[in-house]
Structure 1
Amino acid sequence: MCGIHGIYHLDGQPVQPSLLSAMGDVTRHRGPDDEGQHIDGACGIAMRRLSIIDLAGGHQPISNADGSLVLVCNGEIYNFRELRAELQAKGYRFKTGSDSEVLLHLYDAEGDDCVHRLNGMFDFALWDARRQRLLIGRDRLGVKPLYVLQDGRRVAFATEAKALLALPGVRAELNRDAVADYLHLGYVAAPASMFKGIRKLPPATLLSVENGQVRQWRYWRLPTAIERRWTASEWLDRTRDQLEKSVRMQMVSDVPIGAFLSGGVDSSAVVGYMARHSDQPIRTYAIGFEGGEAETLYNELPYARQVAGMFGTQHREIVVKPDVVGLLPRLLWHMDEPVADTAFITTYLVSEFARQDVKVILSGVGGDELFGGYRRYLGGHYAARFNRLPGPLRQLVAAVAARLPADRHSGLLNKLRLVKGFVASAGMHPDDRYRSYLQVIGRAEVAQLLVGGSPPGDDALARAFAGAGDADALNRMFAVDAETQLPDDLLMLTDKMSMAVSLECRVPLLDHELVELAAAMPEHIKVPGGQLKHLMKSALGDLLPQNILHRPKRGFGTPMGAWLKRELAPVLRGLLAPAVLERRGLFHAPVVQRLVSDHEANRIDGTDVLLAMMNLEIWSLLYLDRRDPADIAEELKRLVTA
């Protein structure tokens, strides 16, 4: 695990070591244990290392025997031992015990096709001196991020966008074309980034530079064919076996490992299978919030304690009243790009807590996408019921629902929020209905909000739907999630927030073999009769108790909406004040003020869109105005005390 970066000068100009050092200095938090670089004329690749496997011998860059191939790799290759044995049988000799060296020799044996053999989370850069060729790549699901700068003179890459800003002639500029989609979705979807001129390499993608030519291609896509021959019991057995295999594989480490434990189905399953395959108690970490009703809704500690007790873990938990004002500037600097998902705060806090003991953590991220765990997957189910009502009654219910209050941080008002959303979308095309659940605000509202309106054309969701194939409705939604929200929101924040404290976070529920299995599972097996996550829960029946399997679902976020009405209200109004908006020149102040008022009055739950705008302003202060995170935090604290 580390951060990688590099430069290829298309004009043949030699790479200066100081440039690679400057890029690495920016991402020291990703790899505090070691650093290294390799330069061959116009190409230079480098890394910062967090030592996990082969602590003494795993230094990078790593080369083959004659030095013709040189590699830097970020992440972990979980099947490296099997691949190593196969390569040794073919005569390849290894000088280290690291997983990265396997990729080096596998490329020598199989060329670009080597990526099809890898089970892991990774991004890598490989210099082939024989061909004077640079190859960079990213794992199938996009667990590890990778940014690319291509300006006609050079191709540069880095695990974090901020490292590219260290290069001569590169300055942080706002990508205005990305702002509309960011407001619409709450994150910037690949290949765009919030930086003008810097893009993300999409998941499952390779990019090569050879003979002055840059070529990019996709090497894997989520399968779209549904397997209808297997019985329900066969699906149970295959799912149970693959879940356990995925967790077991990702426990490989030469340093202590732990697990995040919320007490939900996904994290509890990970911990349960870890316990089966460890001769030592598993270390588990949980987080809760102190405060009123809103904080209580996010407090899952009793469930986490129950699971920890069942499996005899070394359990630690932290109850926090986070200094959000102090955290936001620093965390958004680490994020590289703004995001409206409050899980980035929670993920950072529990990662910082776990890092006191371990360098590797396993997370349950991905289970809801794979096995149908989100309420939004039931839109078609409830729409079919609603549309069976007589027309006049539907009109009456829709009129009443439109007037319902909404607040996700109150038990009752959150239920009303969900009813309001389901009813409003019941008559839509399935793709549009699903978009209404995913969006922060609609594209029409974005156009009203933005100075100059919203740019026309397809967005990330439209492209994802177009490529989702003709699978059944549920797996079509999963395919869209796998192209958009999963890599560009959940996995991005998981990587950035854990690596901010030099913690490697693994996601065994997104093992690509498990993902391919889930993608082939028919909807009536996954969520029969609207029962969310039915198949997965059934598969875990011998591992977890019923009250854990069927407990109320709660997201891994914060009660941000409630805080924006209380202690953070001065920060909200300060960051979105008319004078601030006019100076930045992005948003129409009257529209913003109406959103703030509607949120405070519970007419809407505007948590996501307000946080999206707040975080974009903080990001702008950091990167466009080049201000220090601590300085911004002090300014925000003054707003609160005033």
Structure 2
Amino acid sequence: MCGIYGIIHLDGTAADPALMERMGNITRHRGPDDHGWHADGNCVIGMRRLSIIDLAGGHQPLTNEDESLWLVCNGEIYNFRELREELITAGHRFRTGSDCEVLLHAYEAWGDEFPLRLNGMYNFALWDAKRRRLLIGRDRIGVKPLYWRQDGQRLAFATEAKALLELPGVTAEVDRVALASYLNLGYVSAPRSMFAGISKLPVASMMRIEDGTAHIGRYWSLPEKVETGVSENEWLERIATGIERSVRMQMVSDVPIGAFLSGGIDSSAVVACMATATSQPVKTYAIGFGGSAADNFYNELPYAKRVAELFGSEHHEIVVKPDVVALLPRLLWHMDEPIADTAFITTYLVSEFARKDVTVILSGVGGDELFGGYRRYLGNHYAERFSRLPRLLQGAAKQIGRILPADRHSKWLNIARLAKGFLATAELSFEDRYRAYLQIMDRSLASQLMPGIQSSSWDPLLDAFAGSHQDDPCNHMLAVDMASQLPDDLLMLTDKMSMTVSLECRVPLLDHELLEMAATMPESVKIKGGVLKAAMKKALAGHLPPDILHRKKRGFGTPMGAWLKGELGRVLDRILSPESIGRRGLFDPLVVSRLIADHRANRQDYTDALIALINFEVWARIYLDHRSHDDVTVELQGMLA
């Protein structure tokens, strides 16, 4: 685990190795244990290392037998032992015990197709000195991000965008097209980033740079066809054995390892499999909020404790009332890009807590996508039933939906909010209904906020649907998730927030073999009878008790909506004041004021939209106004006075 970065001059002139120190220092948190770089004429590559495997001998850059190939790699290769044995048998000689060294010899053996042999989470840069070519690549799922920028005859890349901002002549400017999409979705999808001129390498892609040109190609994609002729019992067996295999494989580590535990199905399944794979108690970490009723609504500690006791884990829990004003600037600096998902705050807090004991953590991220855990996966199921109602009842239901309150911080208000959302989308097309479930504000509202930008100029969800050809509605949504929200929201925040404290977070439920299996499972099995995760729940019935398997789903976020109506209200009013919005010159102040008023009156739940605007403005004060995050923190704290 580390951060990588590098520069290649496309015109063949020499690259400056002195820039490696600047790019590395800004990302020291990703790799506090070691650093290194290799220069060869027009190409220089570097890294910061967090030591996980082969602590003494895994220094990077790594090289092959004749030093014709050089590599920097960020991540873990879980099947490196099997690949290493195969390559040694074929005559390759290894210098270290590092898992990453297999990439060098895999490239020698299998050429540009070598990423297909890897099971892991990674980004890498591989310099072929003989052919004068550079390959930079990203793992299949997008667990590890990779940014790049080309200006003139120089192409630079880095795990974090802020490293690219250290280069001479590079200034931070906002990409207004990306900003319009961010207002719609709450994150920026690849290949764009919030920085004009800086791109993200898409998932499962590799860039080849040679002869002065760069080409990006995709090396892997999800299966498109459902597998027929498989009994339900066989599917359940595949789920159970697949999860067990993946968890066991990802427990390989030379440093202390633990698990996040919320008490939900996904994290509980990971802990259950870890407990069977080791004779030592699993170290588990849980976070909860204490205080108001809204705080308690997000508190999952009792469920986590139940699972911990069941499997005899060494359980650690923390109850927090986070100082959001103090956290936001620093965390958004680490995020590189603004994001509307408050799970980045929770992920940071529990990562900081776990890092006191462990260097590697396993997370349950991904189970909802693979096995149908989100309510949007039931859209077809309920829309079909709604269409059978008499037109008079449909009309009455929609009228009721318009007057329901929109809030999320208690059981009944959350039910009302979800019912309101469903009734508003029941008659939409498949694509529009999916978007309605995911978007934080609709595209017309985003256009009102940014009247000078046509939000239709770039639509990553439309691109994701166009690039997905699954023959099953549930798996079609899975494919769109894999091309958008999962890598650019959930995995992005998981990587950035865990690496803020130099903690390696692994996601065994997103093992690509497990994912390929899930992508061939029909909706009729996956969410049988309209039950979310029906197959997964049945598959895990022998591992987890019914009260955990069938508990209501709870997001891994914060009660930010309630806080914005309460103690953070003054910050909201100041940071999104007409004067502040006017100075920035990007949004319509009247539209912003209307959003705040409608949210406070419970006419609409604009929690995510307001968080998006707040986080963008905090991010802008740091990156666009060139201020330190500490300076912005002091300013925000003054707003509470």
User: Which of the five TM-score ranges fits, normalised by the shorter chain?
Assistant: over 0.9
User: Is the 2:177–2:453 contact (alpha carbons within 8 Å) kept by the matching residues of 1?
Assistant: no
Query: How far apart, CA to CA, are the structure 2 residues paired with 1:584 and 1:552?
Result: 41
**Structural mapping, 1:420-569, within 5 Å:** 420-569=420-569
User: Is the 2:443–2:455 contact (alpha carbons within 8 Å) kept by the matching residues of 1?
Assistant: no
AA paired with 2:398? A
Residue 456 of structure 1 deviates from its aligned partner by 2.8
User: Is the 2:34–2:49 contact (alpha carbons within 8 Å) kept by the matching residues of 1?
Assistant: yes
SS at 2:206 equivalent:
strand
Moved more, 195-204 or 458-467: 458-467
- 1:351-393 deviation per Cα after TM superposition (whole angstroms, max 9, x unaligned): 0000000000000000000000111111111111222111122
**Structural mapping, 1:255-334, within 5 Å:** 255-334=255-334
**Structural mapping, 1:111-510, within 5 Å:** 111-510=111-510
- 1:559-601 deviation per Cα after TM superposition (whole angstroms, max 9, x unaligned): 0100000011111111110011111111111111111011111
Query: How far apart, CA to CA, are the structure 2 residues paired with 1:253 and 1:199?
Result: 32
SS at 2:281 equivalent:
coil
AA paired with 2:466? A
> Structure 2 vs 1, CA of residues 458 and 630 (structure 1 numbering), >3 Å: closer, same or farther?
closer
Residue 453 of structure 1 deviates from its aligned partner by 4.0
Q: Identity percentage over the alignment? A: 64
AA paired with 1:411? K
Structure 1 partner of 2:94: 94
Residue 291 of structure 1 deviates from its aligned partner by 1.2
AA paired with 2:368? D
User: Is the 2:223–2:470 contact (alpha carbons within 8 Å) kept by the matching residues of 1?
Assistant: no
Structure 2 partner of 1:594: 594
User: Is the 1:339–1:489 contact (alpha carbons within 8 Å) kept by the matching residues of 2?
Assistant: yes
AA paired with 1:407? D
Residue 283 of structure 1 deviates from its aligned partner by 0.4
AA paired with 1:44? V
SS at 1:304 equivalent:
helix
SS at 2:364 equivalent:
coil
SS at 2:623 equivalent:
helix
User: Is the 2:181–2:455 contact (alpha carbons within 8 Å) kept by the matching residues of 1?
Assistant: no
AA paired with 1:187? Y
Query: How far apart, CA to CA, are the structure 2 residues paired with 1:433 and 1:190?
Result: 22
Residue 455 of structure 1 deviates from its aligned partner by 3.5
Query: How far apart, CA to CA, are the structure 2 residues paired with 1:278 and 1:65?
Result: 36
SS at 1:456 equivalent:
helix
Structure 1 residue runs without a partner (length 5+): none
Query: How far apart, CA to CA, are the structure 2 residues paired with 1:398 and 1:346?
Result: 35
User: Is the 1:173–1:624 contact (alpha carbons within 8 Å) kept by the matching residues of 2?
Assistant: yes
Query: How far apart, CA to CA, are the structure 2 residues paired with 1:333 and 1:414?
Result: 32
Residue 336 of structure 1 deviates from its aligned partner by 0.3
Query: How far apart, CA to CA, are the structure 2 residues paired with 1:496 and 1:32?
Result: 15
- 1:10-38 deviation per Cα after TM superposition (whole angstroms, max 9, x unaligned): 12222222201100000000000000000
User: Is the 2:134–2:210 contact (alpha carbons within 8 Å) kept by the matching residues of 1?
Assistant: yes
AA paired with 2:596? V
SS at 1:542 equivalent:
coil
Query: How far apart, CA to CA, are the structure 2 residues paired with 1:288 and 1:407?
Result: 20
User: Is the 1:446–1:453 contact (alpha carbons within 8 Å) kept by the matching residues of 2?
Assistant: no
SS at 1:17 equivalent:
coil
User: Is the 1:446–1:454 contact (alpha carbons within 8 Å) kept by the matching residues of 2?
Assistant: no
Query: How far apart, CA to CA, are the structure 2 residues paired with 1:14 and 1:270?
Result: 48
AA paired with 2:118? L
Query: How far apart, CA to CA, are the structure 2 residues paired with 1:163 and 1:453?
Result: 29
SS at 2:14 equivalent:
coil
Query: How far apart, CA to CA, are the structure 1 residues paired with 2:37 and 2:144?
Result: 20
Residue 451 of structure 1 deviates from its aligned partner by 3.3
RMSD: 0.8
Query: How far apart, CA to CA, are the structure 2 residues paired with 1:625 and 1:496?
Result: 22
Query: How far apart, CA to CA, are the structure 2 residues paired with 1:463 and 1:109?
Result: 35
- 1:148-203 deviation per Cα after TM superposition (whole angstroms, max 9, x unaligned): 10113111100000000000111101111111100000000000000000000000
| Paired residue total | 641
Structure 2 partner of 1:51: 51
Query: How far apart, CA to CA, are the structure 2 residues paired with 1:53 and 1:396?
Result: 62
Moved more, 227-236 or 43-52: 227-236
User: Is the 2:181–2:188 contact (alpha carbons within 8 Å) kept by the matching residues of 1?
Assistant: yes
Query: How far apart, CA to CA, are the structure 1 residues paired with 2:470 and 2:254?
Result: 44
Are residue 13 (structure 1) and residue 1 (structure 2) matched?
A: no
- What TM-score does the superposition give when structure 2 sets the normalisation length? 0.99
- 1:448-504 deviation per Cα after TM superposition (whole angstroms, max 9, x unaligned): 111314343450100111122142111111111010000000000000000000000
AA paired with 1:354? A
Query: How far apart, CA to CA, are the structure 1 residues paired with 2:68 and 2:94?
Result: 15
User: Is the 1:383–1:423 contact (alpha carbons within 8 Å) kept by the matching residues of 2?
Assistant: no
User: Is the 2:297–2:409 contact (alpha carbons within 8 Å) kept by the matching residues of 1?
Assistant: yes
Query: How far apart, CA to CA, are the structure 2 residues paired with 1:345 and 1:570?
Result: 20
AA paired with 2:450? L
AA paired with 1:171? T
AA paired with 2:399? A
AA paired with 1:503? L
Query: How far apart, CA to CA, are the structure 2 residues paired with 1:510 and 1:470?
Result: 19
AA paired with 1:328? L
